[in-house]
Amino acid sequence: MKFPRNARIFRGRLDAAPFVTVLFLLVMFLMLASLVYTPGVHVELPTADDLPGTDKPSVAVAIDPNGRLYYEDQWIEEGQLASRLRAAAKASSLPMTLIVQADKRASYDMLLRLTLLAKEAGIHDTLWATLPRPFGSPQRGASP
């Protein structure tokens, strides 16, 4: 049995308006999506080159510019942080390292208090988290 052929091959000009409309909507969606608020605390890490890392078990604590402490993505008081760090140090079979993710405007006093708090909890190594220097930016102390 032979079926009748009703479909015809389109041989006219292709209308570009629907394609441009979809492209315009896509661009508008991406632009509006970039403006969506993302919750969290903005911590601006300092930049540095060739600082050592660690292969030991580590625990991270963040400090914002106002000196507030954050542990496991939650705001925490110093007393609670001390007990949490003590528990983490006891749970680990290897010596732990504290990674301090401090905003570059955080006070030195706060960094020192956090380091001493970690030492009291049994964490003796401390590293400061940094960002790599942007490509092409001059290094400090380098001669031109």
pLDDT tens for residues 117-126? 999 999 989 9
Residue 140 is predicted with a pLDDT of: 60
Residue 137 is predicted with a pLDDT of: 67
Residue 5 is predicted with a pLDDT of: 73
Tell me the per-residue pLDDT of 47-82, one tens digit each, with 9 for 90 and over. Answer: 887 777 888 899 999 999 888 999 998 999 999 999
CB 98 within 8 A of CB 69: no
Where does the pLDDT of residue 138 fall: very low under 50, low under 70, confident under 90, or very high at 90 and above? low
The number of residues in the chain equals 144
> Domain 58-128 is in which class?
alpha beta
Interatomic CA distance for residues 35 and 56, integer angstroms: 39
Where does the pLDDT of residue 27 fall: very low under 50, low under 70, confident under 90, or very high at 90 and above? very high
